[in-house]
Amino acid sequence: MEGIADKSGRRTLPVLLAAAFALFAGTGLTAAASTAATSTADSSPPLTLPGAPQIRLWTPEQVLSQFSSVAPDGARLFHQPDGVAVRLVETTDDERIVNPGDGEFHSMDVAEVERALAAVPQTLLRDLNADIFILPYPRADRLSSSAGRNAVYLSPGVREYSVEQVHYVVTHEVGHLFHREYLPFEDESAWDPYRDLRGMQDTERFHFGAAHADRPQEVFAEDFRVLFGGDLARGDGSIENRTLERPENVIGLREFFLGFVEDSAQPVAASTWSLYPRPGRSLDGLTLRASEQTVIRRLDLYDVRGRRLGSPDALGRGPAEWTVRWNEPTAAGAYWVRVETVDRETVVLPVRVVSPR
């Protein structure tokens, strides 16, 4: 994750991510993982996923053999893909390690990392080009796991990771890869629709350098984990920031993520629907269009909090085109229109009001 702060190790799944970083807190972690301190030379190619061949998974042994060297002063250096060489902490006796655990570093289990990656819909990963490093030792400048522009660094713990912790951390970090690809930090305005969806319009509280749980990028990674991770990664469906709505309860949030990846969403309706203009100045007068002739049973309008505001009217302009009528006052922001046909076909369409009348 992006610059995690020191946390306690409560064992509820929403804070399992914090417990995984026992380098900072004195929490016990249980399950199977391998220590890579005694690795042998390994020049083999990285592991890849059938559905995402541009994601390369490097084992702890490969990291030591192919991405590390020994400096003149005897320190082991890890050479990141961005060309930066960072020192590795090779012993739990190092002053940087607050809690030495059982006296060894335990890398994440390779097979479990593979399973965590395979549990994510591969259509979301197929266009990502990244290296995922299962580190044998933590980096001196950042002891916890993190994600860069095209890389994920999975740090070892001072006790063995549980299966749930592996899936939690891996999927969270892949969420960071996803936003760095499709929603980069440099384009702050592109985050506005997401902020609206998640109720994070207060930029004094929710900003990239805020308290960890209030950082939009961390909420994004947590949303990704819950919405698209496997059962072990999702846990009970809650996220680090307990003041925000659970991602599965936010109307349109899943569609927002899937919208970044062309044809990644499984069809939710037999017809293809469109709602425009987007953005618009009002919710009244929007054009709703279907690719096939159908009859609308009802429309429902929701705000970014998932609250149902009412049922707009749909005035037919043809066998597959309607004008949406909504005469209530509307504030600027994101909304979602749920369409249900007489055949019980349903689809949720986003719309954004930029200058309400």
19 or 238: which leads in pLDDT:
238
Q: Which domains does the chain have, with CATH numbers?
A: 13-180 (no CATH), 273-353 (2.60.40.1220)
Whole-angstrom Cα distance, residue 93 to residue 37? 14
Can you count the helices (H) and strands (E) in the chain? 9, 16
- Over residues 6-24, the pLDDT tens digits come to 333 333 444 444 444 444 4
344 or 308: which leads in pLDDT:
308
In contact, 64 and 36? CB cutoff 8 Å: yes
Calculate the average pLDDT of the chain. 84
Residues 6+ apart with CB under 8 A from 84: none
pLDDT tier at 303 (50, 70, 90 boundaries)? Answer: confident
Average pLDDT on 245-252 reads: 89
Q: At what angle do helices 163-182 and 216-228 cross, to 10 degrees?
A: 120
Q: Is 226 left (phi over 0), alpha (psi -120 to 50) or beta?
A: alpha
Average pLDDT on 277-285 reads: 84
Q: Is pLDDT at 36 greater than 50 in this prediction?
A: no
231 three-class SS = helix
Whole-angstrom Cα distance, residue 250 to residue 42? 46
117 three-class SS = helix
Joined together, the tokens standing for residue 137 give 């030792």
Q: Which residues pair with 151 in a beta bridge?
A: 131
Q: Is pLDDT at 4 greater than 60 in this prediction?
A: no
93 phi, psi to nearest 5 deg: -80, -5
Average pLDDT on 287-315 reads: 87
